[in-house]
Structures are given as C-alpha cells and as structure tokens.
Amino acid sequence: MEYLATTILFFTLLITNTQGLNPSLCSSSKPDTSDLSVFHIYGGCSPFKGRKPEPWPNTVLDMAAKDPTRVAYLDSLAAQKTSAPIASGQQVLNIGNYLVRTKIGTPGQLMFMVLDTSLDTAWVPCSGCQGCSSNIFAPNSSSTFGSMDCGSALCSQTHGLISCPTTGSGPGPGSCLFNQSYGGDSSLLATLSHDSLSFDKDVIPNYAFGCINSVSGNSIPPQGLLGLGRGPLSLVSQSKSLYDGVFSYCLPSFKSYYFSGSLKLGPTGQPQSIKTTPLLQNPYRPSLYYVNLVAVSVGRVQVPIPQQYLKFDPSTGVGTIIDSGTLLTRFVGPAYYAIRDEYKKQVQGPFSSLGSFDTCFPVTHEQVSPIVTLHFEGMDLKLPMENTLIHSSYGNQACLAMAANSPNSVINIIASWQQQNLRILYDTANSRLGIARELCN
C-alpha cells in the first residue's frame, strides 16, 4: 500500500504537581509550523486548565469520578437506545482527556477541540451562537465555508436530524439542522456545514462538521469536538483518501511532568511488527471500535467469566470496545467482580475504598501485585503495573485502576489508563487493531 500522508500530532499532557511552566513549551508548536497539537485538558498549555495545578493523583481521582457519565453514553450507543445523554462538554473535557489544536477555514482559525475515538461528528461553536462561552469560529471570515442542505448524503446520516426547514427559519432554507443532548443537562442546535480542516501541513477540504447555533446548559465543550469514530462523518471516514483509514496514538504515563506522546494519521511510520486483533463491526452503532476479548487472567489464573459477558453480540451491543475518552477500564458487573475477587486473593490486604476505586491496599504490598492479562483474539496484552494500579495522593495506598460498569450495562471498555505507554493502532481498512509496547514520554 502506498503511503499517501502521515501527520504526527504530539500530545502535550501536562498534569503536574510542580510549580511553573516554561512558556516556550507552549509556543514550540507554532501555528505556522505545526497546526495541530494535542493537550491534556488539565495541562499547562490548555486554555481550559485550572488556575492552580493539582497533584496528579487528585486530578486522576477527579477524572475518575466523572467517568460514569461518559460510560452511560457509550452504553446507550451499544444498547441502541434512541435517546440518552451524551457525556460531553466539561464532562467530556474532564473524561475525554485530550484537546486537539487544529485550524478550520481559509485562512485557518485556531480551535482547541476535544478528541474522541467513540464519536463521529465534529462540531464547533460559530458566530452568533447563543449560549456559547468560549472562542468561536467565524464562518464569514472563511472563503471556503459553506452550509450543507437537506439533500446532501451526509445530512441523512447525521444523528439528531431535525425536519428540514422549507422557508427562512434557521440559518437558511433547506439547511441541514440537527440537535443533540449532552451531559443530561445540555443540548446544542447546529447546522451541518463544510470547510477546510488543517492538520500541520495537511488540509482536508470540504470537511463536514456541525456549526453550533445555540447551546443550553453548561456541558458543551467550549471549542467543540473532533470525532475519530468509525461512522461516515468521522475524521477517519472523511480523510480516507488522505490517510487510508489508519491512525495510531501512544498515551504517555500520567505521572510524567511533560505528557508527550504522539498521534499518527496515515499508515506511514506505523509499527511494522505489531500484534493485532480483529476490529468487529456493530452495524447498529458503527462508531464504536469493538474487539473480541475472550478472557482475563490475574497472575497465572484465568478468571472464570461466562462468555455471555464477553462475546460480541451486535443485536444487543454486548462486547468490548477500545475508547480513548474513558479513564478507567470497566467491565460489566459479573466480569469485574470475578476479576476483582481473584485479584484480592493474590494480594495481601487489608482492603479499602478510595473514590471510584473499591480495591485499595497498603502500597507496601504492591510488590506481590499480580499481572493482569487481557486475552484478545490473536493477541495477549499483559498490563504493566502502572497501567493496573493508581496511588493515593499521599502515596501510602495502591488501588486497582478498574471498576464495574453500571448494573444494566452491556459493554466492557478498555480505557486510557490501561493504554499508557502503548502504541494503539487503528487500521480500519483492514479491520484490525494493533497494540505494541512503546515508551511514549
């Protein structure tokens, strides 16, 4: 396969408990030389960072507490529910973890958008948006902007499509309008539009996205969202001629001062020797990246988990997905409790709870902590200790960094904590997902 293009997007994830930040670190990727950077939402270079940086364990605990909202949304997708709150806005920013620094329009207008592998449609707040509170995109300042009408093929594939107006209501007669609810207390109204989307030196012309007209509530991402899901409106689909439906990322350790990792778009530069597992397709919810998780081992013991909680079933949504926006890996209740109980058998207590974590123990017992192995079809992933445990702020406790999904959930989610220092390759053209060890920092 000829490699047409590759963009390496550097993550600068700056969760820190130290003072100060070298200003040059934030300006090193200048708009003229690198149009795209990715920052952690709490990073020193993020426009949404807090005034005072928190110690990283506190940050992680706060992010973990917000995981359930996103998990509920993903579960609603898998279960084919017709309406459910989307974990978004400030909640997506807290649990989606990463911001994409990109440009939209001609000339390009800089936006910091939430990056998400389980969502498709991109959307940004536009001029005149009612209720938007952050930097907005000005369509009138772009020579390549245009609205899409109801007759366009992509309009019919837009989630939350509203009946097309026939007169002057809305942005224009025949404009493709859609609305979505987010976070349980927020919603947006947007017009499906198109414009140039720029990544470093690569430009995707006529990129379809939602131009937000109004929002209600406080949970909409301030500068929008960029979806890397599998649906027709995702970046992966719209850039297929440029990147061949291939991308990968490497998420660095949460404990690093400078969280530098990389996201690669396109097949060039991807690992040549990498173990892979098939990507499974849910025709009802094509956005999600399903994989076949066949078993889980704790130490040398394969945990007895009934296959009904693991085996992929597109009719019900049961199965396992890979997701960048959830912090902690979550299993449906029976599977998680079986894993947790076996883990407790092999680690000396006493055990306690801490926030979202129900299996915490004295850090002095960490040396006997067993390796957790995820057995996928065609490959095994032995989780490093930093991908298995999280420590308390005072460092005297270690906790199993996994949790049970909600009682009515149907999916298992392999989340970002378990993806640290791993190269995760998404090859949609060949329907495979690859994982390889890599020091991302």
Burial classification of residue 111, based on how many CB atoms lie within 10 Å of its CB (0-12 exposed, 13-18 middle, 19 or more buried): buried
| Architecture in CATH for domain 271-437 | Beta Barrel (2.40)
Are 7-263 and 271-437 in the same CATH fold? Answer: yes
Nearest to 289 by CA among 244, 242, 339, 234: 234
Query: Which is more confident, 36 or 123?
Result: 123
Q: What is the pLDDT of residues 10-30, one digit of tens each?
A: 333 333 333 344 444 553 343
Model confidence at 165, in pLDDT bands (50, 70, 90)? low
Residue for token pair 């998990």: 71
Buried b / exposed e along 127-160 (16+ C-beta atoms within 10 A): eebebbeebbbebeebebbebbebebebbebbbb
- Kindly report the pTM of this predicted structure: 0.85
User: Annotated active-site positions, please?
Assistant: 116, 323
Q: What is the pLDDT of residues 414-423, one digit of tens each?
A: 999 999 899 9
Ramachandran sector of residue 431 (left: φ over 0; alpha: ψ -120 to 50; beta: rest): left
CA angle 137, 140, 142 (to 5 degrees): 75
Q: What is the pLDDT of residues 34-46, one digit of tens each?
A: 334 567 766 666 6
Residue for token pair 């308390």: 392
CATH number listed for the domain at residues 7-263: 2.40.70.10
Three-state secondary-structure class, residue 336: helix
Domain ranges of the chain: 7-263, 271-437
Residue 43 one-letter amino acid: G
Q: What is the pLDDT of residues 53-112, one digit of tens each?
A: 566 667 777 777 777 877 877 887 776 654 333 333 333 333 357 777 789 999 999 888
Read off the pLDDT of each residue in 294-314 and give the average, rounded to a whole number: 97
